[in-house]
Amino acid sequence: MTPLIVLAAFFFLEAFLRRMPARIFKSVCWERPARRDGKLTIAIVEMGADDSFPQLWRSVGHFVEEHADVNIEVVPFREAGKGVLTGYAPAAIVLTGYHQELSAYHPGEMNGLLDFLRTTRLPVFGICGGFQFMARAFGADIVEIGFEERGYTPLHLHTDDPLFGGLGARPVVYNRHRMTIGEVPGAFSLLAESDACVQAIRHRERPLYGVQFHPEYADRRHADSIAMFGNFLTIAGLKTRPRGD
């Protein structure tokens, strides 16, 4: 390999790493901690298909453990029907994103999860692709936006909601996606948008929240979505982890 090729490869790798959220490297080796008696449980549903980037559930799991004083279970989406999820007796459920094409999913393999979302009374927090599939469960289409919305993005809030408690008028969140929902399902209220697409929705009667952005990739300078997740935990009746714990 010539020095020129090595130099080009170095600059390509540096540029690639610069575009990745710093927090992703902290969670690359995360493993689910052992269960502790007396703690409530959050179930994380891994929404990635077989060829999905394997970091998804680790990033979300690391984030949940960092901010929620709970036990954590990780469930692949194919297994996440009513019987499996309720078997863990979770106090809340978090749906991860996905990075692969929609064609990577086979027809019917998500029916159990979608049926569960249509009927559950448990608090659910859908992130990016998880938000999109939550909306699909209630009749929305998942569509291309025509470009990649990536990086820290200010939100336009459409309504007052406990999810935004303690935040200013233009929260900043991290986005990384090419897909979005075609419309807000009739059972949901629009909470926030960016200049590109819908960013947050809430079921009108149940504690189901969907956000297009990635709170698990927030940093200290852009911590608004961490506060939103903390607000969701409060809505779900869960304890946030004390700072420095």
**pLDDT value of position 67:** 94
Q: What pLDDT does residue 191 have?
A: 98
Q: Strand pairing partners for 42?
A: 72, 92
Residues of the chain with pLDDT under 50: 6, 8-18, 244-245
Per residue in 205-235, pLDDT (tens digit) is 999 999 999 999 998 889 999 999 999 999 9
20-51 residue pLDDT tens: 566 677 778 888 999 999 999 999 999 987 76
How wide is the angle at C-alpha 40 spanned by C-alphas 34 and 46, nearest 5°?
Answer: 65
CB contact burial 199-214 (16+ within 10 A = b; e otherwise): bbbbbeebbbbbbbbb
Residues 6+ apart with CB under 8 A from 133: 47, 95, 110, 113, 114, 117, 126, 142
Task: Calculate helix-pair angle for 224-235, 56-67, nearest 10 degrees.
Answer: 70
Give the residue extent of every domain in the chain: 36-235
Whole-angstrom distance, CA of residue 188 vs CA of residue 109: 24
Point out which residues pair with 154 in neighbouring strands: 172
Exposure string of 117-134, with b = 16+ CB inside 10 Å and e = fewer, is beebebbbbbbbbbbbbb
Catalytic residues: 128, 214, 216
Residues paired with residue 211 on neighbouring β-strands, in sequence order:
127, 200
3-state helix, strand, coil in the chain (%, to 5): 35, 25, 40
d(CA 192, CA 170): 10
Q: Name the architecture of domain 36-235.
A: 3-Layer(aba) Sandwich (3.40)
Measure CA 160 to chain center.
Answer: 21
Give the per-residue pLDDT at 225.
96
- The model's pTM: 0.89
Q: Residue 50 CB: number of other CB atoms within 10 A? A: 10
Helices (H) and strands (E) in the chain, counts: 7, 10
Residue 99 confidence (pLDDT): 82
pLDDT of residue 219: 87
What is the pLDDT, as a whole number, of residue 207? 98
